[in-house]
Protein backbone atom coordinates (compact mmCIF):
# COMPACT_ATOMS: atom_id res chain seq x y z
CA UNK A 1 0.00 0.00 0.00
CA UNK A 2 1.01 3.62 -0.41
CA UNK A 3 1.36 5.84 2.63
CA UNK A 4 1.14 9.63 2.74
CA UNK A 5 2.08 11.52 5.88
CA UNK A 6 2.08 15.22 6.73
CA UNK A 7 3.44 16.82 9.87
CA UNK A 8 3.96 20.27 11.27
CA UNK A 9 5.64 21.40 14.45
CA UNK A 10 5.92 24.90 15.89
CA UNK A 11 7.93 25.76 18.99
CA UNK A 12 7.11 28.74 21.18
CA UNK A 13 3.72 29.48 19.65
CA UNK A 14 2.89 33.21 19.27
CA UNK A 15 6.58 34.24 19.40
CA UNK A 16 7.91 35.87 16.21
CA UNK A 17 10.56 33.84 14.28
CA UNK A 18 10.15 30.81 16.53
CA UNK A 19 11.41 27.48 15.10
CA UNK A 20 9.00 25.51 12.94
CA UNK A 21 9.16 22.43 10.73
CA UNK A 22 6.74 21.03 8.17
CA UNK A 23 7.08 17.86 6.11
CA UNK A 24 5.15 15.76 3.62
CA UNK A 25 6.18 12.19 2.76
CA UNK A 26 4.93 9.44 0.48
CA UNK A 27 6.20 5.90 0.06
CA UNK A 28 5.07 2.61 -1.40
CA UNK A 29 5.83 -0.38 -3.59
CA UNK A 30 6.41 -0.09 -7.32
CA UNK A 31 6.89 -3.83 -7.87
CA UNK A 32 6.98 -7.06 -5.91
CA UNK A 33 10.50 -6.36 -4.59
CA UNK A 34 11.04 -2.61 -5.01
CA UNK A 35 9.78 0.56 -3.40
CA UNK A 36 10.13 4.31 -3.68
CA UNK A 37 9.63 7.25 -1.38
CA UNK A 38 9.85 11.03 -1.23
CA UNK A 39 10.03 13.61 1.53
CA UNK A 40 9.46 17.35 1.14
CA UNK A 41 10.51 19.48 4.10
CA UNK A 42 10.60 23.09 5.24
CA UNK A 43 12.39 24.18 8.41
CA UNK A 44 12.75 27.73 9.69
CA UNK A 45 14.48 29.07 12.76
CA UNK A 46 14.76 32.83 13.12
CA UNK A 47 16.75 34.20 10.19
CA UNK A 48 17.56 30.76 8.72
CA UNK A 49 15.55 28.41 6.52
CA UNK A 50 16.21 24.97 5.14
CA UNK A 51 14.00 23.51 2.40
CA UNK A 52 14.44 20.38 0.38
CA UNK A 53 13.41 17.07 -1.05
CA UNK A 54 14.72 13.54 -0.70
CA UNK A 55 13.89 10.82 -3.24
CA UNK A 56 14.62 7.17 -2.38
CA UNK A 57 14.59 3.78 -4.08
CA UNK A 58 14.96 0.37 -2.40
CA UNK A 59 15.21 -3.17 -3.75
CA UNK A 60 14.85 -6.36 -1.69
CA UNK A 61 16.18 -9.84 -2.44
CA UNK A 62 15.07 -13.08 -0.79
CA UNK A 63 18.16 -15.22 -0.22
CA UNK A 64 16.39 -18.04 1.63
CA UNK A 65 12.77 -18.36 2.70
CA UNK A 66 13.69 -21.39 4.83
CA UNK A 67 15.57 -19.31 7.43
CA UNK A 68 14.16 -15.84 6.56
CA UNK A 69 17.32 -14.55 4.95
CA UNK A 70 17.05 -11.25 3.02
CA UNK A 71 19.30 -8.62 1.45
CA UNK A 72 18.12 -5.06 0.76
CA UNK A 73 19.76 -2.15 -1.06
CA UNK A 74 18.74 1.49 -1.10
CA UNK A 75 19.81 4.79 -2.64
CA UNK A 76 18.59 8.32 -1.94
CA UNK A 77 19.10 11.66 -3.65
CA UNK A 78 18.86 14.80 -1.50
CA UNK A 79 18.47 18.42 -2.58
CA UNK A 80 18.63 21.08 0.13
CA UNK A 81 18.41 24.86 -0.05
CA UNK A 82 19.80 26.69 2.98
CA UNK A 83 19.06 30.39 3.36
CA UNK A 84 19.80 33.28 5.69
CA UNK A 85 17.62 36.42 5.65
CA UNK A 86 20.09 39.23 6.38
CA UNK A 87 17.60 42.08 5.92
CA UNK A 88 16.88 42.31 9.65
CA UNK A 89 20.47 42.02 10.91
CA UNK A 90 21.38 45.12 12.88
CA UNK A 91 24.48 44.87 15.02
CA UNK A 92 26.30 48.11 14.11
CA UNK A 93 29.64 46.37 13.39
CA UNK A 94 30.89 47.53 9.93
CA UNK A 95 33.45 44.69 9.79
CA UNK A 96 30.80 42.00 10.32
CA UNK A 97 30.18 40.22 6.99
CA UNK A 98 26.43 40.20 7.74
CA UNK A 99 25.82 43.93 7.52
CA UNK A 100 22.32 45.29 6.89
CA UNK A 101 21.84 45.71 3.17
CA UNK A 102 23.84 42.58 2.30
CA UNK A 103 21.91 40.36 -0.08
CA UNK A 104 20.22 37.31 1.40
CA UNK A 105 22.44 34.24 1.44
CA UNK A 106 21.20 31.10 -0.28
CA UNK A 107 23.19 27.91 -0.84
CA UNK A 108 21.98 24.80 -2.69
CA UNK A 109 23.37 21.35 -2.03
CA UNK A 110 22.80 17.97 -3.72
CA UNK A 111 24.05 14.64 -2.46
CA UNK A 112 23.45 10.88 -2.35
CA UNK A 113 23.13 8.25 0.39
CA UNK A 114 23.31 4.47 0.02
CA UNK A 115 22.38 1.66 2.38
CA UNK A 116 22.59 -2.11 2.68
CA UNK A 117 20.66 -4.38 5.06
CA UNK A 118 21.22 -8.10 5.62
CA UNK A 119 18.62 -9.94 7.71
CA UNK A 120 18.51 -13.53 8.92
CA UNK A 121 15.67 -14.52 11.24
CA UNK A 122 15.39 -11.92 14.02
CA UNK A 123 18.90 -10.53 13.50
CA UNK A 124 20.13 -7.95 11.03
CA UNK A 125 23.24 -6.05 10.04
CA UNK A 126 23.12 -2.73 8.19
CA UNK A 127 25.62 -0.31 6.70
CA UNK A 128 24.97 3.21 5.43
CA UNK A 129 27.05 5.83 3.68
CA UNK A 130 25.72 9.40 3.63
CA UNK A 131 26.75 12.46 1.63
CA UNK A 132 28.76 10.51 -0.93
CA UNK A 133 29.68 13.58 -3.00
CA UNK A 134 32.67 15.51 -1.67
CA UNK A 135 31.96 19.15 -0.83
CA UNK A 136 34.63 21.75 -0.19
CA UNK A 137 33.74 23.90 2.82
CA UNK A 138 35.19 27.35 3.38
CA UNK A 139 34.72 27.96 7.12
CA UNK A 140 35.56 31.66 6.84
CA UNK A 141 33.40 32.50 3.83
CA UNK A 142 30.38 34.54 5.03
CA UNK A 143 28.13 32.87 2.44
CA UNK A 144 28.90 29.33 3.73
CA UNK A 145 26.06 28.24 6.03
The whole-model pTM stands at 0.79
Q: What is the pLDDT along the chain (145 residues), one digit of tens a residue?
A: 899 999 999 888 888 778 999 999 999 999 999 999 999 999 999 888 999 999 999 999 999 999 899 999 999 999 999 988 877 665 555 555 555 556 678 889 999 999 999 999 999 999 999 999 988 766 656 555 5
What is the full DSSP assignment across 11-71?
Answer: SSTTSTT--EEEEEEEEEESSSSEEEEEEEEEEEETTEEEEEEEEEEEEEEEEETTTTEEE
Amino acid sequence: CWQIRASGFEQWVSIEDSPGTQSLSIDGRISDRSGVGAILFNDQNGFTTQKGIQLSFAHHLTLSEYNNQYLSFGISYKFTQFGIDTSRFNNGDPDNPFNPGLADISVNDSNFDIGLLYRIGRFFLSANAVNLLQKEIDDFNPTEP
